[in-house]
Amino acid sequence: MGTISSAQAKTIMQLFTDRIMNKDYGAFLDLFDEDVVFEFPYAPEALTQILNGKRALKEYLETLDTLLEIRSFTEPLIHVSAESPVFIAQYEGSGTVLADGKPYEQKYISVVEVKNGKIVRFQDYWNPLAL
């Protein structure tokens, strides 16, 4: 099992947030392993709770694009643990809910597992009430 440094984790999250904000989805998907598991543990039953594989993540991004316009992310606070390929990132995002034009303000905690330089598991803990 590999380990990840704070610098590597920070770079991954910077690329993650920049590519989402700029809608550079091809480059965004390059961050992930083909068999990535992307989870939304706090999502209500009516919303997507788990995505299996890069193709499902791509389809989700296309749907997300119709729901939200994300304009900014704060710099993530990164937590790494010794001898582990997992890190935790805390950050906030701001934007607009496209359906009604209301502000979108979200606090995220993401648990990210990396293997061979690619994200293999991403758990996205966010507040569904912000929608």
pLDDT tens for each residue of 26-42: 999 999 999 999 999 99
| Better-predicted residue by pLDDT, 2 or 69 | 69
pLDDT tops 70 at residue 131: no
- Sequence spans of domains, the chain: 6-130
Percent over 70 (pLDDT), the chain: 98
Closest CA to 131 of 18, 43, 19: 43
Is a pLDDT exceeding 90 seen at residue 2? no
Closest CA to 121 of 88, 74, 83, 79: 88
| CATH code of the domain made up of 6-130 | 3.10.450.50
pTM of the model: 0.92
Q: Is the pLDDT of residue 128 over 90?
A: no
